[in-house]
Amino acid sequence: MEVFIEILKYALPSIFLLVLTYMMLSNFMDNEEKRRMYFLKKETQKSALPIRMSAYERVALFLERIHPDRLLIRVPSKGINVHQYRSLLVENIRMEFEHNLSQQIYLSDEAWGLVVNAKSATVGMINNWAQEIDPKAPATEFSRLILEKVMEMDSFPTKKAVRYLKGEIRSNF
């Protein structure tokens, strides 16, 4: 029994030191890994920030370009009827959207959802307004109707999406 107690006198402190050393090394290694990940993330964000800002700029430009005020200026209405002009406007919006589709990678899900909703709402409004007028009428009448409808609205969906993008940029950067 005395031999067993003697062995325990030497073994217990050694086991205690071994466990303590293991815990300290494990904690040190975890902290070191977290520190490496932090610096890696920091460097990645530093290089990704200009790309993300560019994506927000391009999406804001897209939203401004599909706003009816600017859309009507860019898409000429001379010599065509309402049906043809509606098709041109909707096609222009779709082309703009497809051109900026890849920007969704850099935006939050909420921001991209608002962009998609703004695009869909704009197309829907143009389609609805086109039904209020004779399809064979001159496109200039349709463009005048669109401008009147937009002026009656308090807030257009594209403006709401741009405001959200601005807020997201301010909060994240």
Average of per-residue pLDDT across 33-54: 87
pLDDT tens for each residue of 124-172: 999 999 999 999 999 999 999 999 999 999 889 999 999 999 999 998 7
Please tell me the distance from the alpha carbon of residue 64 to that of residue 107, in angstroms, as a whole number. Answer: 17
At 41 the pLDDT is 86
Please tell me the distance from the alpha carbon of residue 133 to that of residue 129, in angstroms, as a whole number. Answer: 7
At 3 the pLDDT is 83
Average of per-residue pLDDT across 36-55: 87
Mean pLDDT of the chain: 92
Residue written as tokens 């494990």?
26
- Does residue 49 register a pLDDT over 80? yes
pLDDT band at 119 (very low <50, low <70, confident <90, very high): very high
At 147 the pLDDT is 93
| Closest C-alpha among 102, 129, 118, 109 to residue 155 | 118
11 half-sphere exposure, CB direction, 13 A CA radius: 6
DSSP letter assigned to residue 138? B
151 half-sphere exposure, CB direction, 13 A CA radius: 6
Chain centre to alpha carbon of residue 144: 33
Average of per-residue pLDDT across 7-23: 89
Q: Which residues pair with 81 in a beta bridge?
A: 138
- The 10 Å Cβ neighbour count of residue 74 is 11
Residues 6+ apart with CB under 8 A from 71: 65, 89, 92, 93
At 81 the pLDDT is 95
Is residue 133 a contact partner of residue 82, using CB atoms and an 8 Å limit?
yes
- Per-residue three-class SS string for 71-83: HHHHCCCCCCEHH
Rounded to two decimals, the pTM is 0.75
What dihedral angle (degrees, nearest 10) is formed by the CA atoms of 129, 133, 136, 138? Answer: -80
Range with lowest mean pLDDT among 38-42, 114-118, 121-125, 128-132: 38-42
Higher pLDDT, 142 or 3: 142
Sign of CA dihedral 11, 16, 19, 25: negative
